[in-house]
Structure 1
Amino acid sequence: MKKLTKFAFLYLGLFLAFALVLSCIQLYVNADAMFESKSSDANYWITLSKAITPDNIGRKELIGFNGSEIEELKKWEEVKDIYPVVSNDFKVSADGGDFIPFYTDMYLEAVDNAAIDIQDLSEFKVQDNTIPIVISREYLNLYNYGFALNQGLPQITEGFAKKIEVNINLRLKDKNLRYKGKLIGLSDRIHSVLVPKQFLDSINATQDFSKQHKDIFTRVLVKVNDASDQGLIEKMAAKGYESNQESLRSAKIKSKLFLVLNAIAFIGAFIFLLCLFIIINFIKMEFLEKQEEVSIKYSLGYSPRKMVSSISRHFSINVGIVMLLCLICVSVGQYYLASSDITNGLLSPYIWTSMWALALIVPLAVFIIVNLLIYRWLIRSWKF
């Protein structure tokens, strides 16, 4: 009865260890899916700017990124690609003409097409006095859910917004230009009003202000390996760089969550190693209790390796059964979690498929380790 109780506690410990480790692995996969679902790659793109201080306010040469700073950014191991954001060096305004009675001052920016999260950019070039525009999806949401509702104006769908043309007025050094502005897409990545880079560069080149601050960029769009990288965040803080806080906030939450999961998984792994140690001691006790029987078997020609392999195989099979039960329990939990309202249909109802392989890998590893350690102990202690 005492022996049975020991075995019960042993396998209960194994079940707890596997449950902790497997649950952490699946929660890690779930958290990764949940964070990534907010945007196609929201945690991998950040927009860098310099913090505004009394010393650099209004001075583009200080508040912007120069060539040497951009080259330094390229050397950061956390950075994959860098796309400087070009801003207008002239006054810009927009009006609706006779169709929509409005007027507003505005700004224009441009970035390489490779950084714009619009699938079809075939229309993103100035033709027939029409400037194609890409704006942030948040800007349209601000109009629809903030301004339009409060002012009694009609809300606008994305499809309808693409059909509206407005006048874009450029006040240059020596002349004024008027273009038609046409929306071709909404960006989830860049909070700005984007026009083709080649067009904006050509207009900026005619302005004295642009010549004075050549190759100085007020903002930089950066593709990083992981926005939750603490090394990246520390470098940004040391340089006085700021970024879109939502991406960094999500990244920080993600990193802290994963830190907790890693700690729990470590505890589970420790419990597993403790159970493995107990298994080895149980097997040693088995041999010590049956020392006379083992000696007789050896004298009759039984191989010590086969005797060790037989009892190690028994424990390995039991470990495999416990592992399989844990996988089934985690699968049931994942199914109900994915079906709940809090996940909003973002999670798969099935566990990570690679975890099923652990039902074979772990018992096999236990067999190899236990078999090797017990055999060495048996040969060394009993002097076969």
Structure 2
Amino acid sequence: MNLIWKLLSKHISKGQLLGFFFANLIGLTIILLGFQFYIDVLPCFTGEDSFMNDDQVVLTKAVRSSSVVSGQTNLFSPDDVEDLRSQPFVESLGVFSSNEYHANATMSIEGNTIFNSEVYFESVPDEFVDIDKSQWNYAEGDRVVPVLLPRSYITMYNFGFAKSHSLPTLSDGVLGMVDISLFVQGDGKKEVFTGKLIGFSNKISSILVPQSFMDWTNRNFSSQSHSQPSRILVHFDNPASKEVTSYLEDHGYEVDSDQMNNEKTAYFLKLVVALVMVVGALISALSFYILLLSIFLLVQKNEDKLENLLLIGYTTRSVAWPYQMLTLVLNVGILLVSICAVFILRGYYYDYLLALSPSLDKSSPMLMIALGVGVVLVLSMLNFIVIHNRIQQIWYSKRRNNGVVS
């Protein structure tokens, strides 16, 4: 085999092989990086909420210009709620309660105030919050109130305030670093409570407190009658069913915009990654074609030697093997370098993903590696088949020229 390699390797063009190597390296790296990026980023938009079931959706009434002119509100009446509750595709339903008094919140980390503003409390029945009830409760007289914050709060803090003030970024694992004070005022009374941060949720846009705390504070700090809800939390048996979609459209109900935006973002992400991977596949296909041209030129230059080797008894397989091994070594080398490049590039963008979604679990790269191995196996098999067929053509052509019938 070494003798065959020495005979056939004299006309190898290192420039052509390097051209193939780098072209295929770029193409394969684009494919693998696009695939890994998609796996890493998708959970930021479609990951399950830690505190609310994925089949629970927040409904609001659509606000249209005709509604404004006619004086219609976007509030759900008791009849609206009961009609929705009676539908066969609704497993359970809860209304959002809101505070009827003034509320302010101050949040600080390591003594640095990061938030101080008037806020809006909301609550839902406790069975809709997937938290240990020993942590999610409030009894009259307690000075500590468990709270859930919108995940957008932590995103704004990590990307904006933390970097500019040299403060640590937050994740779900270091919630104790956040000090929260809640100021409640109304009906001539004032109270200050300490907020205990339980976690963050994608399905809320305000500070969520236990239902018992909301009921008690509304009774004690407001003389107003409770207003009708503007949002409803519904647990559907299948949110994507035609019955649900048709009912929502007929009644002018909308799924919370944040959830819709996440779905649209996930779809756009899939589209962009697919386009990027197609570009990478085209580059790899072109580099594959370049390699075949290089091998064919090499075979053409060594045609006399190949014919002689075949005539003295070497098999087509043994003569084709050096060229096949050359392509295999190149492809394996490209795969290894591509995987290393993906790991390096992944390190640059993953910190930003953690800032965007601190609870994000680092996904395994095994699927990306498996994809790379699969691509290289397919390319190598094609190379093996094409090279073997080319050597066979030379052998059959030689036999025909010598008048030998196969």
Give the TM-score band, short-chain normalised. 0.5 to 0.7
1:116 corresponds, among 121, 129, 133, to 129
Q: Equivalent pairs: percent with the same residue?
A: 15
Q: What are the equivalent positions in structure 2 for 1:1-384 lying under 5 Å apart?
A: 3-32=13-42, 34-35=44-45, 40=50, 44=54, 46-52=57-63, 54=67, 57=73, 60=77, 63-64=80-81, 66=83, 70-72=87-89, 83-86=92-95, 110-111=124-125, 113=127, 115-118=128-131, 120-122=132-134, 136-137=148-149, 188-189=200-201, 190=204, 194-195=210-211, 219-222=232-235, 238=249, 240-338=252-350, 343=355, 352-357=365-370, 360-379=373-392, 382-383=395-396
RCO (CA 8 Å, sep 6+): is it higher in 1 or 2?
2
**Residues 24 and 265, structure 1, Cα contact 8 Å, conserved in 2:** yes
Cα distance 1:325–1:343, how it changes in 2: closer, same or farther (>3 A)?
farther
Residues in 2 aligned to 1:19 and 1:224: alpha-carbon distance in whole angstroms:
42
Residues in 1 aligned to 2:231 and 2:361: alpha-carbon distance in whole angstroms:
42
Residues in 2 aligned to 1:326 and 1:109: alpha-carbon distance in whole angstroms:
50
CA offset digits 1:156-209 (Å, max 9, x no partner): x87877xx9999xxxxxxxxxxxxxx999757444555538xx9xxxxxxxxxx
Residues in 2 aligned to 1:376 and 1:343: alpha-carbon distance in whole angstroms:
54
CA offset digits 1:328-380 (Å, max 9, x no partner): 23322333445679958958999824434556444333222221233345546
**Residues 121 and 209, structure 2, Cα contact 8 Å, conserved in 1:** yes
Residues in 1 aligned to 2:266 and 2:316: alpha-carbon distance in whole angstroms:
51
Cα distance 1:372–1:341, how it changes in 2: closer, same or farther (>3 A)?
closer
**Residues 96 and 123, structure 2, Cα contact 8 Å, conserved in 1:** yes
Cα-Cα RMSD? 5.7
Which residue number in structure 1 is paired with residue 161 of structure 2?
none
Q: Secondary structure at the match of 1:85?
A: strand
Deviation at 1:94, TM superposition (A): 8.1
Residues in 2 aligned to 1:349 and 1:61: alpha-carbon distance in whole angstroms:
45
- Give the AA of the match of 2:253: Y
Q: TM-score, normalised by structure 1?
A: 0.58
**Residues 86 and 218, structure 1, Cα contact 8 Å, conserved in 2:** yes
Moved more, 39-48 or 249-258: 39-48
**Residues 27 and 281, structure 2, Cα contact 8 Å, conserved in 1:** yes
Moved more, 303-312 or 51-60: 51-60
- Where does structure 1 lack aligned partners over 5 or more consecutive residues? 75-81, 96-105, 142-156, 168-181, 200-216
Residues in 2 aligned to 1:360 and 1:269: alpha-carbon distance in whole angstroms:
14
Deviation at 1:307, TM superposition (A): 2.7
CA offset digits 1:276-299 (Å, max 9, x no partner): 233233333333333332222222
CA offset digits 1:220-272 (Å, max 9, x no partner): 335899x9x9x9x9979855432332343344334323422221111001211
Moved more, 35-44 or 251-260: 35-44
Cα distance 1:381–1:234, how it changes in 2: closer, same or farther (>3 A)?
farther
Which residue number in structure 1 is paired with residue 171 of structure 2?
none
Aligned length: 317
Deviation at 1:324, TM superposition (A): 1.5
**Residues 20 and 268, structure 1, Cα contact 8 Å, conserved in 2:** yes
Q: Secondary structure at the match of 1:23?
A: helix
Residues in 2 aligned to 1:273 and 1:27: alpha-carbon distance in whole angstroms:
22
Cα distance 1:251–1:69, how it changes in 2: closer, same or farther (>3 A)?
farther
Moved more, 310-319 or 281-290: 281-290
Residues in 1 aligned to 2:100 and 2:352: alpha-carbon distance in whole angstroms:
49
Residues in 2 aligned to 1:21 and 1:38: alpha-carbon distance in whole angstroms:
27
Cα distance 1:325–1:109, how it changes in 2: closer, same or farther (>3 A)?
closer
Q: Secondary structure at the match of 2:234?
A: strand
Cα distance 1:341–1:364, how it changes in 2: closer, same or farther (>3 A)?
closer
Residues in 1 aligned to 2:353 and 2:126: alpha-carbon distance in whole angstroms:
40
Cα distance 1:249–1:306, how it changes in 2: closer, same or farther (>3 A)?
same
Q: Secondary structure at the match of 1:121?
A: coil
Q: TM-score, normalised by structure 2?
A: 0.56
